[in-house]
Structure 1
């Protein structure tokens, strides 16, 4: 996909039409680009600080791989990858082959590499090998496919052997691992083991502590089996954000950092455990949110007391109220469950959502926010003045995880890098 389609969205308007750019739009050659109803800003300085903090935590000699699956957790893969490269990042991990292709299209540094942790059809393994893309191997079907693809392409497949340690999702276990190791040992010129890995079953929750401990022990046991078959381990890796922050022994040779690089804790439990272990104050957070989500006031209306607002009869005015229409709705990721519950920031004031969140629009009560005018900035997630709407608060009101709130932000919303 063309990179401009990922980040800018705006469609090219037929050049035979006599059109002028809308206010704030810009004309580029034969096409006119107009503004989207909302935008997402990514802070480069916040990302730099997050990566600096994370690198200090994992220590020297441990590679930090940036996980950018699910459109970089909603941050916009095609914008985030070059931004992270500017901050020194050279290794990225994705779930699928389609995401790996997007990283390759977005990267700006020749040394940037990508690893597929999940889905790739065996028919696409030739493409991965030819493009120097590493990928997980977690069953004999994929291992045999990688071997055949490497023979066709004429170069070794860069593989990471995934081990089943207790998540019971994907990976070789004690029963299937020996057969895989025999195949690998028989084809050293076609199968290059660059890593051995596993994934934990919820390292962000203290309720899973003993399960994680058992997984750590199982991983050590299975890597011992590999060494017994004279198969190289490559880089050992098991740590996601939660494990890297709170289970130091899981950092090993490489860590796969997803949610934390974007400035979010995997859970409140993981945050509190980190602060406790490091004897830090409860109101401290070494991670900074890099994302802000903004729109503008589209219309203003004065409504007398005793009138229903929007669809149905969910919201009844109790006095003469001033209401602002904001061109953002559940289509854009502002959950419908935030009807009558959510807040937005306008002119430094916390303004409640009035009535039902529509597909493309919401209404905010700005009665107590003096001076609001059409065109004023509306902060949906982020800071304005002394007020803040956090992703955590947004998610709690909508009964969603941080991850869900972020990945639901559509790719069509423009992502813009700010200082």
Structure 2
């Protein structure tokens, strides 16, 4: 093993999730696969081709560099939308390659129209409305000017979509805020339509909104976390399960993160383990040294709290998680050997370490843990 850890991505689990999600939204709603944050840590280059094989033909990314990586990774053509960062000099590349992009300020709209006119090819844009997230988008005050600008450059701009993003649809405490956003979006959309501004698609729903607010599905949903087999929050999962007779989780996790035992170490009772004095051996112990630390995405906050799987059993992290290694207690696990498989995340025999368990122990969100997995950890596709 050249690398100290590696990630396996399950193709069959992805197919299961895509099938479930498409059935949930129905045949008339388009499915957009959100692969920002390096495909939520799964790897754009590895994930995108198997997503396409699973029937995905529409992808949403955050930035132009992600769009470029995706474009090079796809075996065949697909729709690509940049939801966030694209600098003005990159607009020519995007328009030339039929990359769609969100527009949420006048500068981007006018520049896109100029570049499109120069190329003799229309820019495909999605007009983002500010409805209460207070991040990006045209609010009611700026919308009038955006409408006028859009009308002026309509010969060079193709309005593919009108959209917004909800501020926390995964939590019931944001219920009133989400409904307020939904109402405001529809009000702003009606105003645009009165002025003959009609897009190809209306889209507002992320994974959580798709489940908790079915009315937000509209023409397209932008699904991130759920396609990877994880729920946006325990609340979203409970809501879904509560509405269905079958109480089994319909999603399957794609990811297994694995390493190997690098070394074994005997420690006598009373000695401190690792940096500092955070863990003192309560008995004679056998430790397995695992070559993964916080520089490889295993949070330092999991010191003395995390667990891994070795020989189908749980082994506790003891001492401080180092930059490149951590120690785990294998005293009660028989016959542990150097090079034994260590599962940091995923399944081994009938045991599993879930992403949610990391969140409970380290205060990290599902999203945060996954997207912090370094890009240079090798990722392999398995069935």
- Alpha-carbon contact 1:159-1:191 (below 8 Å) kept: yes
Structural mapping, 1:363-378, within 5 Å: 363-378=327-342
For residue 55 of structure 2, the aligned residue among 88, 110, 121 is: 88
Q: What's the offset of the Cα at 1:280?
A: 4.4
| Long gaps (5+) in structure 2 | none
Find out whether 1:413 has 2:380 as its counterpart.
no
Q: What's the offset of the Cα at 1:187?
A: 2.7
CA distance in 1: counterparts of 2:322 and 2:284, whole angstroms: 22
Match of 1:327 in 2: 291
* TM-score, length basis structure 2: 0.98
Aligned partner of residue 318 in structure 2, secondary structure: coil
Structure 1 residues 30-59: Cα deviation after superposition (integer angstroms, max 9, x where no partner): xxxxx2100011000000000111001111
Q: What's the offset of the Cα at 1:277?
A: 2.4
Structural mapping, 1:287-326, within 5 Å: 287-326=251-290
Find out whether 1:149 has 2:118 as its counterpart.
no
Structure 1 residues 367-393: Cα deviation after superposition (integer angstroms, max 9, x where no partner): 111011011100000111121110000
Structural mapping, 1:109-258, within 5 Å: 109=76, 111-258=77-224
- Alpha-carbon contact 1:94-1:117 (below 8 Å) kept: yes
- Alpha-carbon contact 1:66-1:92 (below 8 Å) kept: yes
What stretches of structure 1 move > 3 A for 4+ residues in a row?
none
CA distance in 2: counterparts of 1:99 and 1:315, whole angstroms: 42
Match of 1:57 in 2: 24
Match of 1:28 in 2: none
Q: Return 42-51 or 170-179, whichever deviates more.
A: 170-179
For residue 241 of structure 2, the aligned residue among 275, 280, 292 is: 275
Aligned partner of residue 367 in structure 1, secondary structure: coil
Structure 1 residues 208-239: Cα deviation after superposition (integer angstroms, max 9, x where no partner): 11111111111111111111111122200000
CA distance in 1: counterparts of 2:91 and 2:326, whole angstroms: 45
Q: What's the offset of the Cα at 1:409?
A: 0.3
Match of 2:9 in 1: 42
Aligned length: 383
Aligned partner of residue 71 in structure 1, secondary structure: helix
Match of 1:11 in 2: none
Aligned CA RMSD, in angstroms, stands at 1.0
Structure 1 residues 286-321: Cα deviation after superposition (integer angstroms, max 9, x where no partner): 111111100000101222222111111222112221
Structure 1 residues 130-169: Cα deviation after superposition (integer angstroms, max 9, x where no partner): 1110000111111111111111221000000001111111
- Alpha-carbon contact 1:226-1:233 (below 8 Å) kept: no
Structure 1 residues 49-99: Cα deviation after superposition (integer angstroms, max 9, x where no partner): 001110011111111000000101111111111111111111111111111
- Alpha-carbon contact 1:126-1:152 (below 8 Å) kept: no
* TM-score, length basis structure 1: 0.90
CA distance in 1: counterparts of 2:318 and 2:130, whole angstroms: 49
Q: Return 169-178 or 374-383, whichever deviates more.
A: 169-178
Aligned partner of residue 272 in structure 2, secondary structure: coil
Q: Return 82-91 or 233-242, whichever deviates more.
A: 82-91
Q: What's the offset of the Cα at 1:279?
A: 4.3
- Alpha-carbon contact 1:185-1:230 (below 8 Å) kept: no
